[in-house]
Amino acid sequence: MKRTGEIALGVISAIFSLISIVLISLLVIGVSTTLKEEGFNTELKNQILTNPAISAQDVEYITQNADVILSGVNVIGWGIVISIFISLVLNIFGIVFIYNNKNQKLAGIMFIFAGVLAGILSITSILLYIAAILCFVRKSTEEFADPGGNYSSNEPL
Residue 155 lies in a domain: no
Note the pLDDT tens digit of each residue in 96-123.
999 888 888 999 999 999 999 998 888 9
Mean pLDDT of the chain: 82
Given a cut of 80, is residue 145 above it in pLDDT? Answer: no
Cβ atoms of 15 and 120 closer than 8 Å: no
From the list 51, 29, 52, 32, the residue with the least C-alpha distance to 41 is: 32
Percentage of the chain lying above the pLDDT 70 cut: 83
Residue 157 lies in a domain: no
Half-sphere exposure for 86 (CA within 13 Å, toward CB): 10
From the list 78, 65, 64, the residue with the least C-alpha distance to 31 is: 78
Residue 151 lies in a domain: no
Given a cut of 90, is residue 80 above it in pLDDT? Answer: yes
Residue 129 lies in a domain: yes
Distance CA 111, CA 90 (A): 7
Residue 85 lies in a domain: yes
Provide the domain limits for residue 68: 4-138
pLDDT of residue 148: 58
Distance CA 125, CA 45 (A): 39
Cβ count within 10 A of residue 52: 5
Given a cut of 90, is residue 24 above it in pLDDT? Answer: yes
Residue 50 lies in a domain: yes
pLDDT of residue 56: 72
Structurally, the chain folds into a number of domains equal to 1
Query: SS3 of 152, please?
Result: strand
Residue 57 lies in a domain: yes
Task: Answer with the residue of higher pLDDT: 135 or 59.
Answer: 135
Cβ atoms of 157 and 146 closer than 8 Å: yes
Residue 38 lies in a domain: yes
Given a cut of 70, is residue 20 above it in pLDDT? Answer: yes
